[in-house]
Amino acid sequence: MKITGIELRRIAMPLVAPFRTSFGTETRRDVLLLRVVTPDAEGWGECVAMSGPLYSAEYVDGAADVLRRFLIPALPPSADAYAVGRALRPFKGHRMAKAALEAAVLDARLRAADQSLASFLGAAADRVPAGVSVGIMNSIPELLDAVAGYLEEGYIRIKLKIEPGWDLEPVRAVRERFGPDVPLQVDANAAYTLTDAPHLARLDEFGLLLIEQPLADDDMVQHARLARRITTPICLDESIESAEHAAAAISLGACSVINIKPGRVGGYLEARRIHDLCRAHGVAVWCGGMLETGIGRAANVALAALPGFTLPGDTSGSRRYYATDLTAPFELRDGHLTVPTGPGIGVDPLPEILDEVTTSTEWITL
C-alpha cells in the first residue's frame, strides 16, 4: 500500500476542568494528529505527547519535529504497520511520535482491508469497563463531589492522583464517604522516593487495587525494594517503555501490575507484545490514558478489549474530558464503553469540529 502523503494537524481542545497531577496542571490539550493518505484509504493517529516534557521527555512540538525531520522521511514507500516499526527502530526514543505514525498507517491498512483494529489486535470483548482518573483538587469536599459525580455516572473504578501532602487524607475521605467496596487506586506520577516507604505503607489499610508509579521512572530496582515494604500492589506506568522493560520489571519483582499506554511504549503492536508477555506471567494489565480525543480513545478501547486487560482502564467517556469531542462521543453504558466495530479504529473526526479546533496543518508528500 503506497502512502501518498501525511498531514500533521495540530488541534487545541479545552478540557472541561483543569487536570492536576504531581507534575503539573493541564487546562487545554494541545494534540498532534496524523492523517496518512493512500490511494485506497486514509488513516488517523493521535500523538499523546503533552505540551511540556513533564510526564516523560517527549513534548508535542518535539514530536512534530522528529516526525517531519526523521521518522516520516524514513518510511518505506509501501509500508505496513510492522514495517513502520522496523524502519523507525534506528531512531532512539520518541516513542509517542513513532506510535502515532504506526497507528495512522495501521488504521489506513485496516480500513483498506475492511477489518477493525479490535479484531486485528485480538479483542475478546465487545465492551470494556470504564475507570476514571481524578486529578488533585483544592480541597477534600471538592474531591468528594467529583468522585460522587463519577460514581453516579456509572464509573466502575476510581483512580486518585496523589502527591506528597495529598495522599492519605484524600484516600481516607473517599473510603469513609463511599465505603470499602468501591474499586479504588492511586497514581503518584513518580512523586515519591524510597525514603517515603513508611509513609506509603500507611496506604495499606485502605485496600487499594494498586499504587501506580510511586517512584521515579528509572528506579526499577527501588520499586522492587518498595514492593517488599508495602502490601498495596505496585503498578508501573512511566517506567515501562517497551516489552523489554516489562520483562525486566517482572523478573525483578518491581511490579505486579502494568499500565499499558500505546503511546508510551511506541505503538499498539508493542502494547500487544507487553500484553502477551504479562498474560504469560500472570501479571495483570490495564489500559492507561493520556486525555485522548475520540481518535486515540477508539484505538485504546480496542486494545483494552484484549483478554489480559483484567482491570478497568483509564478509559473514560468523552465528556469527562471535552464538552465537544472530535468524533461522535464515547458514552458510558452501564459503566462500560462499547468497542468500535467499523474498519480501522472505527470512528472519524467530525469535519466541522475538526476545523474549529485546528490551529495548524502541514502536508508532507512522500
Give yes or no for residue 237 binding ligand OSB (CB under 6 A): yes
| Nearest distance in Å: CB 160, Mg ion | 12
Nearer to ligand OSB, 134 or 227 (CB): 134
The amino acid present at 283, given as its one-letter code, is: V
331-354: b (≥16 Cβ within 10 Å) or e: ebeebbbebbeebbbbbbbeeebb
- Quick one: DSSP state of residue 340? P
Q: Which of ligand OSB, Mg ion, none has residue 102 at its interface (CB below 5 to 8 Å by kind)?
A: none
Is 159 known to be catalytic? no
Measured CA to CA, the distance from residue 351 to residue 302 in angstroms comes to 23
Note if 92 is an active site residue.
no
Residue type at position 284: A
Tell me, by CB under 6 A, how many residues bind ligand OSB.
11
Q: With beta carbons less than 8 A apart as the criterion, state whether 309 and 73 touch.
A: no
Taking the C-alpha atoms of residue 137 and residue 173, their distance in angstroms, rounded to an integer, is 13
Please give the residue whose beta carbon sits closest to ligand OSB in the complex. Answer: 289
Q: Cβ neighbours of residue 146 under 8 Å, at least 6 residues apart?
A: 134, 137
Provide the grid cell at 165: 501532602
Task: Tell me which stretch binds ligand OSB (CB under 6 A): 105-113, 265-273, 283-291, 323-331.
Answer: 283-291
Q: Does 237 bind Mg ion (CB under 5 A)?
A: yes
Taking CB under 6 A as the rule, does residue 133 contact ligand OSB? yes
Q: Which is nearer to ligand OSB, 107 or 314 (CB)?
A: 314
Q: Is residue 107 at the binding interface for Mg ion, with CB under 5 A as the rule?
A: no
Task: Give the DSSP H/E element, type plus range, for residue 78.
Answer: none
Contact between 314 and Mg ion per CB under 5 A: no
Return the C-alpha cell found at 334: 452501564
The rounded distance, in Å, linking the Cα atoms of 116 and 59 is 30
Instruction: Tell me which of 185, 189, 222, 239 binds ligand OSB, using CB under 6 A.
Output: 189
Binder among 290, 301, 345, 354 for ligand OSB (CB under 6 A): 290
Q: Does residue 241 bind Mg ion (CB under 5 A)? A: no
Binding site for ligand OSB (CB under 6 A): 55, 133, 187, 189, 237, 288-291, 314, 316
Binding site for Mg ion (CB under 5 A): 187, 212, 237
- By annotation, the residues acting in catalysis are 161, 261
